[in-house]
Amino acid sequence: MAATAVAKTKSTETFVDNKRKDDIRMANIAAAQSVADAVRTSLGPKGMDKMISTSSGEVIITNDGATILNKMEVLQPAAKFLVELSKSQDVVAGDGTTTVVVIAGALLKASLTLLSAGIHPTVVSDALHKASIKAVEILTAMAIPVELSDHDSLVKSASTSLNSKVVSQYSSLLAPLAVDAVLSVVDPAKPDIADLKDIKIVKKLGGTVDDTELVKGLVFDKKVSHAAGGLTRMENAKIGVIQFQISPPKTDIEQSIVVSDYTQMDRILKEERNYILGMIKKIKASGCNVLLIQKSILRDAVTDLSLHYLAKAKILVIKDVERDEIEFITKTLNCLPISNIEHFRAEKLGYADLVEEVSLGDGGKMVKITGIKDMGRTTSVLVRGSNQLVLDEAERSLHDALCVVRCLVSKRFLIAGGGAPEIELSRQLGAWAKVLHGMEGYCVKAFAEALEVIPYTLAENAGLNPITIVTELRNKHAQGEINAGINVRKGQITNIMDENVVQPLLVSTSAISLATECVRMILKIDDIVTVR
């Protein structure tokens, strides 16, 4: 008996063991799918929100796929791909972060079926690549060109993006706001680039989201320095942004000065006073009457004494300006930051009609600078909210809306939403698969079916019967109604373009190409090697 067993093992040793490679692949796909399923319920206007509780006890309520995945602690290496995937979609398009993960999950599921049928992973991967290129072509053919002057279309696409968020009831306010913000920072010299760094979102607790406004100018979430009766309002302001400290100098090394009598002490204080007065005289001589002072680490940027003298010189002071805000401020005010008192000249100042401290209803205060001369192409958005969770979510939603408008600036095409493009893709890829030969056609057909996951999930999240809806949708598209999609409000299938549910072409095309890229990467992996 033993002899035959030995003989058996001898005869099978010539084969390579493929079991492990399949297992690794299955494990990777299963892990990635579970991540995709975790965010699937938050897709679409009727999607659920996730409550994320971090280890530090902070609670975040969000509907944004990228935020959810970013905060999730994913341990499995392949599942981390999906987190990176939603991040890259966030960078490229800004919206559709949930969509891209859901599509990737569906494609993985389809590949799993193909793999278990014995098709080689490389064949599956190549077929996927071809299908994605074809899909982008189909989407581009469906798209409708849009002009930046067509304000309504831009607002429609921004409000579609906002509809799936917690703050969807405010989309009528936030969507036009996002469009105006982006259009105001587009440089006519480079018309297809909009840099979102030029839009500063300032969050201030209190009020409701209705109080959110677009400010032509600068907003600081700070009070004016009130020490020694400082001013709180200045008209015809000449603004200096300084990066040095108005305080007595310190030595570079740690040492102590021993004072033996009062005259020496008086001399020290007198020197300090003269030093500060000398600085303030130079500042006053240049005609400056508003100072923005950068935060300093090494020593106090301003002392009580210097604030007292600044108040006497009738100069309004805003202190503790963050270092990373300096660039934005100087660009907006069209001035130069001043790093040394010797360089304080009138030509480095910015000019504005009014700098004032505004009191908000709930005791909070903030500083607004309006009527800036030769203002740079920047804008500020002041977001209000009744609690921190709503405020953070409003900021994230606004960011998504801004990204959507940015997509339209860089690639001026619109496409229908509501699952219409996905069904159309599924139909056309299915037809194309019949033309292809061999395994490829079989693979493309499977991927075409996988794309139906988006309309299916949309219907499911809206509490409709997904099978009926998707079948009806296919029927409509087969009859040539390209823009038929799911209207979740009415719970039936309508022409989505009439309902104003539109999205930028870039969101859809990047979602498809990024998802396929990610799935191909997962398919190509056949072993995990841990290195100590």
Catalytic residue list:
64, 97-98, 400
Helix (H, G, I), strand (E, B) or coil at 72: coil
CB 178 within 8 A of CB 329: no
Secondary structure percentages of the chain, helix, strand, coil, to 5: 50, 15, 30
CB 454 within 8 A of CB 511: no
**How many CB atoms within 10 Å of residue 431?**
12
CB 497 within 8 A of CB 142: no
Q: Of 315, 319, 312, 304, nearest to 227 (Cα)?
A: 304
Q: What does residue 450 show for φ and ψ, rounded to 5 degrees?
A: -65, -30
> How far is the C-alpha of 351 from the C-alpha of 373, rounded, in Å?
6
Chain Cα centroid distance, residue 134 = 29
Residues forming beta bridges with residue 72, ordered by sequence position: none
Side-chain-side CA neighbours of residue 224 (13 Å): 23
Q: CA gyration radius for the chain?
A: 30
- Tokens found for residue 426: 């599924």
